[in-house]
Amino acid sequence: MKPAARAILAALALIGPLFAAGCAADDTSPAPPDQTDTFTFAISGDPSSLNPINTGDRWGLTTTNVVYSPLARVEADGTVRNELAESIEPAADGRSVTVKLKPDVVWSDGEPLTAADVVFTYTNKAVKDNGNADLLWIGDQPITATAVDALTVRFDLPEASAAALSNIATETYIIPQHIYGDVTDFSGAELEPLALGSGPYKLVEYQRGEYLRFEANELYYGGAPAIQHLVFRIVPNADSVKTALQTGEVDGASVSPSQVADLAGAPVDIHSYAQGRVGYLGVIEPRVPDLALRQALFFALDREEINLAAYLDPAYFENAYSILPPGNPYATTDLERYDQDVERARTLLAAAGLNPTLVLAYAASNAAQATQATIIQQQGAAAGITIELSALDGTALYEEVEKGADAPFDLFLGGYIMGIDPDAYSLLFRTAASANFFSYSNPVVDALFDQGLVELDDARRETIYGDIQRAIAGDAIFYPILDSFDNLAINQRVGGVAQAKLIPVYHFEDWSKFTLA
């Protein structure tokens, strides 16, 4: 499975292979967090990849965001904020985008960052064999990049695309051509030499299963970080994370709602925010071909009860009703929401003469999914649907889902974070798309995605993507459950949280803004 597709299904959980990149030979531990020059953040596992061309899991992306920089970012409200780019100008006909780079930006080794680096990065990113190219293609043609001059890049599109600004500006973190120009295959999980970028920190040491150590990039275009050292300490066990926060062994970590209460009295502040995530119950369509059965299942469910059982309090989630997260500007609730109606579920089953048994798979290590699965089983039984539970290892679950109709289950729990532009969601619901884990196919939905991609008028795009959401809801292959909030526990000695800015996936937009008391 491609790294990007795996991350979508796993809600950016860490499931990739472990590897060492530039590992030190000795047993040196990272600097203790009580030093005034080190911020230690706990992560739950090794990055699946330290290669910005193909990384797709949460910790791979978080590391990439620390070491490298994109041309721009799309904020939660859909606005674009420039990073390496000084300006980004789409052509009126939607067939090209011209990017001017900020002058005097340098890599952490002091070499200038130029248009050649951008072209080099995007050219390799668009190679499908490298593993993460989908959003840089339109139909069967890639978006191409050309250096106009030392600080100007023109991106040419095979056809007009309203999604191109988002995909071009924010899809890729730029890598230096003078360091990696001789690499011929970017499909691997590591780059040699050890990661060198233009971000706020330099990765200087990686001990697999233990930690990643970073040093401040004094040449960072956003200003030298106030904290000299950053450490990502790998702590897979949630109870160990809680203890480390209570004792001050780590300065920050993502915690579950149940752990928030346990941390009362600890020297930490909790920062909760929406991730722009959709957690869902997915149906593998060829295994459950009867629409009446799929609809009956959805009417049997009560998402509020499911969410309260798994996340304890509405402060930690928002109910979802669409393929788009609740906060997405294109999301609509003008669709079939499948509010619980047990009698309607029973009527549908009786009319179709059904007495069904379905198998629901979930990740055994995910406590929230285990709770959700149990409640779904109980709610299904109340409507006359027998649901058998299958708890699988995370990696095994994703490998089985890829088999489609040959998977040993009918339903599965998953989640994704796809960003603002609604075209990104075509990767999940277009026929045969790379992350279409539902084996779903609807020619009407495919045609609407085609229309939305090339439509330049935002009001008409909103109508098109509203129709897409309604069509997919009507087909009952995807039951949206919630946007689960990220809860970050940060030691009270750490300042600059607001300036670092909480964002989905990466936790923080700019790690250079932290200070230590």
The pLDDT profile of the chain, 517 residues, written as one tens digit per residue, is 444 443 443 333 322 222 223 333 333 445 444 467 999 999 999 998 899 998 888 899 999 999 999 999 877 677 788 999 999 999 988 899 999 999 999 999 999 999 999 999 999 999 999 888 888 888 889 999 999 999 999 999 998 888 876 677 776 899 999 999 999 899 888 887 777 899 999 999 999 999 999 999 999 999 999 999 999 999 999 899 999 999 999 999 999 999 999 999 999 999 999 999 999 999 999 999 999 999 999 999 999 999 999 999 999 999 999 999 999 999 999 999 999 999 999 999 999 999 999 999 999 988 999 999 999 999 999 999 999 999 999 889 989 998 999 999 999 999 998 888 899 999 999 999 989 999 999 999 999 999 998 888 999 999 999 999 999 999 999 999 999 999 999 999 999 999 999 998 899 999 999 999 8
Per the structure block, which two tokens stand in for 231?
């450490």
Q: Is the peptide bond before 193 cis (omega within 30 degrees of 0)?
A: yes
The C-alpha atoms of residue 410 and residue 175 are separated, in whole angstroms, by 42
Helices (H), 285-356: 291-300, 303-311, 342-352
pTM score: 0.85
- The residue written with tokens 């149990």 in the block is 374
What are the DSSP calls for 23-52, one per residue?
--SS-PPPPPTTSTTEEEEEESS--S---T
The pLDDT value given to residue 151:
98
The C-alpha atoms of residue 17 and residue 394 are separated, in whole angstroms, by 12
Cβ–Cβ contacts within 10 Å for residue 516, how many? 19
What is the sign, positive or negative, of the torsion defined by CA atoms of 278, 283, 284, 289?
negative
Domain 1-59+188-273+487-517 bears CATH identifier 3.40.190.80: no
∠ CA(299), CA(302), CA(306), 5° rounding?
A: 140
CATH superfamily of 277-484: Dipeptide-binding Protein; Domain 3 (3.10.105.10)
The C-alpha atoms of residue 7 and residue 21 are separated, in whole angstroms, by 21
Q: Are 211 and 23 in contact (CB under 8 A)?
A: no
User: Is there a shared CATH topology between the 1-59+188-273+487-517 domain and the 69-174 domain?
Assistant: no
Any idea what DSSP says for residue 57?
S
Q: Are 407 and 284 in contact (CB under 8 A)?
A: yes
Nearest CA to 237 out of 15, 16, 44 is that of 44
The pLDDT value given to residue 35:
65
Domain extent listing, the chain: 1-59+188-273+487-517, 69-174, 277-484
Where is 371: in which H helix or E strand?
Answer: helix 367-383
Where is 272: in which H helix or E strand?
Answer: strand 268-273
Any idea what DSSP says for residue 10?
B
What SS3 state is found at 155? strand
The pLDDT value given to residue 26:
35
∠ CA(152), CA(153), CA(158), 5° rounding?
A: 155
The CATH number of 69-174, from 3.90.76.10, 3.40.640.10, 3.90.800.10, 3.60.70.12, is 3.90.76.10
